Amino acid sequence: MEILKHDLLIIGSGIAGLRAALQAAYTAKIDIAILSKVQVMRSHSVSAEGGMSAVLYPDKNDSLELHAYDTVKGSDYLADQDAVELLVQMAPIEVRFLERIGVPWSRLPDGRMYQRPFGGMSVPRTTFAADKTGFFIMSTLYQNILRFDNIKQYHEYFVTKLIIENGEFKGVTALDLKTGELKLFLAKAAIIATGGAGRLYRFTTTAHSTTGEMLGFALRSGLALKDMEFVQWHPTALVPSGILVSEAARGEGGYLVN
């Protein structure tokens, strides 16, 4: 069995995985590997149409506090409020960071980023890039990652097991889907960024790759899973195809007629 060694192993190549890899590359000169069972631009993040909510222009109508309130209220007051506070503080920083590295956010005639109303928001604060926000973020992150020679990408590798000894992460075994060979990846740390498990359900808007097996591997390895009952659902989709009708349509006041 071929053995491959890296410092940091990131499992998943959606927005979360690519952003984590980019931040790690900015932070330290370490050997980073991205493992994904699909080619990077086939990750489900590419399908995201909506946008990112952030208080970019605080004024009398909007504030970080109001964004936090809307978020907590929208969660039926079940959200971790410390996490919500961090989210709303970091959101404008992250939106502007993505702008600097190349995401073409939609804009108003005066040059400001266009923000539209989204579900649960009391004021328009969702930044978007046409109706292909996920695609533009993914392609931008991917292009930036290619600048770093210390980020190695392994596309179409299916992780089969997490290796944890005495409570310490050691690596993973992964199947090379192109050759059928099983390979051993050793690393000092790992980030699991493989998304959800929408394909557990008969009807879903998620991609066929969203099968959640890494959640099972983590659980069997003794890692704790939290809040598993909270599954993101889009309430508007076409039947029986599962094609998403974007939240943007509802936010702009659209109606679906049977």
Confidence tier at 212 by pLDDT (50, 70, 90): very high
Record the tokens describing residue 243, joined without a space. 């094609």
Q: Identify whether the C-beta of residue 125 lies closer than 8 Å to the C-beta of residue 53.
A: yes
Instruction: Quick: pLDDT tens for 15-45.
Output: 999 999 999 999 999 999 999 999 999 999 9
Phi, psi angle pair for 167, to nearest 5°:
75, 10
Instruction: Quick: pLDDT tens for 72-92.
Output: 999 999 999 999 999 999 999
* d(C-alpha 153, C-alpha 174), whole Å: 13
3-state secondary structure of 240: coil
Q: pTM of the predicted model, to two decimals?
A: 0.93
Tell me what the mean pLDDT of segment 112-128 comes to: 93
Q: How far is CA 12 from CA 85, 195, 212, in A?
A: 26, 8, 11
Which are the catalytic amino acids?
234, 250
Domains of the chain, with CATH numbers? Answer: 1-49+131-258 (3.50.50.60), 51-129 (no CATH)
Mean pLDDT of the chain: 94
* d(C-alpha 15, C-alpha 109), whole Å: 29
Q: Is 225 buried (19+), middle (13-18) or exposed (0-12) by CB count in 10 A?
A: exposed
